[in-house]
Structure 1
């Protein structure tokens, strides 16, 4: 089981790197309707006052659950995509499957 550390001071770049390393999939983090700049912090993007925490994810975690966690915890829209970030993952896929899509 991998631990993805997401706190308000986490940068977009660091979260993307964690997903790539642990699951070989990509995560798109949005700032409104646009993809967020890698230098932005979660606190810059968050619509909710939440300190964050550690997110326990395994290769069988469902894409829809990860996306919902970011929305409910931080008010941030994210999308999981394949390892080359060319195709969005289906919500019913696991993170492991998303990386191979």
Structure 2
């Protein structure tokens, strides 16, 4: 399974990057390919491009509006609060996978 996502928090510093890193780490531990884009204080980094087309699931680890949300319109999108992705990435991944199964 290929997972992509975006992480963004109100200040755009610590939580943005920790959430992206935690989601990528837990996905890797479960054998999933994952790429997370960050939209932080210094702008958009690790921008998703062709990765979106190949993705099975999108995880939005956000607590603010993000740029380019419409890129995911034809995908299964699971949205979780950025703080939850920092504190419980395993729980977020499990919930996202359940959501994916329900919406396939």
TM-score, normalization by structure 1:
0.33
TM-score, normalization by structure 2:
0.32
Higher fraction of helix: 2
